[in-house]
Every structure is written in structure tokens, then in C-alpha cells.
């Protein structure tokens, strides 16, 4: 059934009804393609100009444009991801949008189809009043895994004066968020019978030394690495695998660590930090041998609190709601970091609480969706005035 132009709730319910679990996270999951094509049908009917980008086979980005695209006109980008995480252990039907006590429940309702619906409707409403500029809506794939969607968007050469990523922020303006690095340490020992302490080398003990070294780092040095909106940097041990039996010295143990970074911390700094920990253990412990990699690094994101897009969004919120939203940092990572790195100032603002993202119970307050829509509409009008 067609969605009436500007009906944000109907659009949200339609998107939540579609299973768009990320196949990088859930084996055999359908991915975002069907959701993207349904959204394209809606936005095409509303007058958007549509283009497609294939980030990978069967993993499309939908780029929808509306407004005046003449050279030199202002351009505002709205960005959001269509993929969702798995549904194991959810307390309600994941893909049956259900309204209860003013909130809409369903996987992806908060993270982040509420934000997708708000930004699409806001762009349409702003264009209906006439724009002297262009609003681009980018509904991307794969943010929950490797962000191949926004990486492809950036690689395509997309340009905008600024961007709002409509991740759930409880309607706070979030100009900064943390980054992270995944580190995998493989500790090598010598397998031997449990009675042969003279020849056995315990790989698990080496891994424990790494974990304790990071624990000490997190409790001391990293507490001094701070940002005005983001508290301090942190680290935790994520998984550990090793050993083959009660009576055998383990010859191998794999420890995975996640390091959360703040603006100013670089990939090289995290690399060197890990190298120092490994070198210290190998130097101090006879027989210790450790190899390691950094499979993934995602940079933090930081936009000045007085940047034009921050001021414009705050003014739009004040005009639309008669209140000025708080300015906060996000602990989680978002695609805003990739857009900032590409020279597009990107901040986060959207309905819902990030604490409900990936949760067994996920919902978004419908009033927040409506408020976000009104604020983003005003922002688009003002930015493209």
C-alpha cells in the first residue's frame, strides 16, 4: 500500500517490517537490498531523484536527492544505515512493528530506522516549501559490520557542505564520538604433559599477562586521555581461546582486545602501545612468544561545538521545539567518522536511545521521531535558504 507523502510513522513501520539483518553478522541473513528497494519506491514516488551504488554484490546504497542542484547551491547530506543486527533472545517479535505506550517496538526501530524515516520525511517536507539548495538522503548498507556502504559513498566522490547522521542520540546533538581498534594476540607456548613443568610453556599465562597489562593501562594512563564530550579512552579484553585439556600445557592461546579511542589518538599510537606491551612481556618472560595483528581500526570523530552545522542544528531545534538540545558525545562509533575524514563535517542527531541499540528489547518513542522530523525539516529549510 502506498505511503502518503510525509507520513513518518507509516514509513517507519514499513522499514521495521523488513528483515534487513546484516549478513556479515548473521549467517544467511538477507541484508539491506529489499529494504533499500522498498525505500526507493517510496522516495521515488515522493519526487526524489534516485541513484544506486553497489558497495558489494547484493549490498546497495540508495542515494536520493531533492531540491535545487544548481552549481554553487548549498548541499546538506542526511546519512543513515538500513542494516540491523541479529534478533536472538529478543523479547518481542523483531519484524512486527508494535506500538505500546507511545513507542514503536521492533528490531531497527531505534538503530536506526527511526532516524532514516525522520530524515527522509524531513527532506521531503523541506523541499515541498521550496529549497535554494539540495538535500541528499543516503541510506547505506553495512554500518553494523565494516561500513562498506559509507566507504563506497565517500569513494564515489559525494560532496556536501555538512552532514547529519541520524543515529539515536535522544535528540541531543553529538559532534564527537569515540573510535575503536580490534587487536588479536596469538600467544605461543609448548605443549607438554601437565607433569612436565620443565618443558611445558603455558600460552594461556602469556595471554593473561597481556590482559593484565591492558587492565593496568586502562586504570592509569588511559584515564588521563580525555575529551570534553567523551570522558576518557578505555580498553577491555573481549574473548580468549586456548588449551586442549586438563593435563596438557597449552601451546596456543588467542586473546582479542578492544581499545576505545578518543579524538587525537591515532592508529599508529594504538599500534605502538600494543607493540610495547608485547615487547615488555617477551623481554621479561623466558620462552614467551607472541604474534599479533590489528584486524580493524575505526577512527574517532570530532567536529567543533561551534561549527556551522552544530550551530544551525541547535538553532533549528530551538525554532522547531522552543528548546535548545544538549551537546553531548557518543561512546559508540558511527559512519560520521568516515564522512569527516572525507572533508564533510558530520554530526549525529536522531530519535531513540543508543542504549536500546542491539538490545533484547528495542523501541523508539514516536514523539522523538516526530520531533526529529520537525527539527531536520527546519534545518534543511534554513541550510538551503
Catalytic residues, by residue number, are 83, 143
Residue 272's Cβ-count burial label (10 Å; 0-12, 13-18, 19+) is exposed
Neighbours of 208 (CB within 10 A): 16
Neighbours of 180 (CB within 10 A): 19
Contact present, 168 and 112 (Cβ < 8 Å): yes
CA distance 129 to 372: 18
Contact present, 143 and 132 (Cβ < 8 Å): no
- Give residues with Cβ within 8 angstroms of 18, minimum separation 6: 34, 35, 38, 95
Q: What DSSP assignment string belongs to 158-210?
A: ---SEEEE----TT-EEEEE-EEEEEEEEEE-B-EETT-TTT-B-HHHHHHHH
Q: In the chain, how many H helices and how many E strands? A: 9, 20
Q: What DSSP assignment string belongs to 369-382?
A: HHHHHHHHHHHHHH
Amino acid at each position: 500500500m502506498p505511503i502518503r507523502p510525509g507520513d513518518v510513522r507509516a514509513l517507519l513501520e514499513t522499514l521495521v517490517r523488513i528483515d534487513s539483518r546484516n549478513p556479515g553478522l548473521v549467517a544467511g541473513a538477507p541484508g539491506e537490498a529489499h529494504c533499500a528497494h522498498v525505500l526507493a519506491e517510496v522516495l521515488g514516488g515522493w519526487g526524489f531523484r534516485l541513484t544506486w551504488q553497489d558497495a558489494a554484490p547484493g549490498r546497495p546504497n540508495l542515494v536520493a536527492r531533492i531540491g535545487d542542484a544548481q552549481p554553487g547551491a548549498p548541499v546538506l547530506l542526511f546519512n543513515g544505515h538500513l542494516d540491523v543486527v541479529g534478533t536472538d533472545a529478543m523479547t518481542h517479535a523483531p519484524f512486527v512493528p508494535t506500538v505500546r505506550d507511545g513507542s514503536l517496538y521492533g528490531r531497527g526501530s531505534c538503530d536506526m530506522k527511526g532516524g532514516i524515516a525522520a530524515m527522509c520525511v524531513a527532506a521531503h517536507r523541506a523541499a515541498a516549501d521550496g529549497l535554494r539548495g539540495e538535500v541528499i538522503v543516503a541510506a547505506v548498507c553495512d554500518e553494523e559490520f565494516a561500513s562498506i556502504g559509507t566507504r563506497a559513498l565517500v569513494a564515489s566522490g559525494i560532496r556536501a557542505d555538512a552532514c547529519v547522521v541520524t543515529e539515536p542520540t535522544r535528540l541531543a546533538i553529538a559532534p564527537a564520538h569515540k573510535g575503536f581498534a580490534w587487536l588479536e594476540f596469538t600467544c605461543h607456548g609448548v605443549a607438554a604433559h601437565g607433569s612436565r613443568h620443565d618443558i611445558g610453556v603455558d600460552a594461556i599465562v602469556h595471554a593473561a599477562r597481556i590482559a593484565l597489562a591492558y587492565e593496568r593501562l586502562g586504570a592509569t594512563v588511559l584515564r588521563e586521555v580525555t575529551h570534553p564530550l567523551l570522558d576518557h579512552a578505555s580498553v577491555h579484553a573481549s574473548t580468549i581461546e586456548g588449551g586442549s585439556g586438563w593435563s596438557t600445557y597449552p601451546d596456543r592461546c588467542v586473546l582479542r582486545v578492544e581499545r576505545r579511542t578518543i579524538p587525537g589518538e591515532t592508529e599508529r599510537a594504538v599500534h605502538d602501545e600494543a607493540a610495547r606491551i608485547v615487547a615488555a612481556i617477551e623481554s621479561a618472560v623466558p620462552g614467551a612468544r607472541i604474534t599479533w595483528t590489528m584486524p580493524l581500526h575505526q577512527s574517532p570523530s570530532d567536529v567543533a561545538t561551534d561549527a556551522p552545522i552544530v550551530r544551525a542544528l541547535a538553532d533549528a531545534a530551538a525554532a522547531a521545539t522552543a528548546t535548545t538540545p544538549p551537546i553531548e558525545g557518543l561512546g559508540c562509533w558511527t559512519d560520521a567518522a568516515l564522512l569527516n575524514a572525507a572533508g564533510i563535517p558530520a554530526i549525529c542527531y536522531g530519535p531513540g536511545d543508543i542504549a536500546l541499540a542491539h538490545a533484547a528489547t528495542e523501541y523508539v518513542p514516536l514523539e522523538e521521531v516526530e520531533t526529529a522530523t520537525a527539527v531536520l525539516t527546519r534545518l534543511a529549510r534554513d541550510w538551503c535558504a
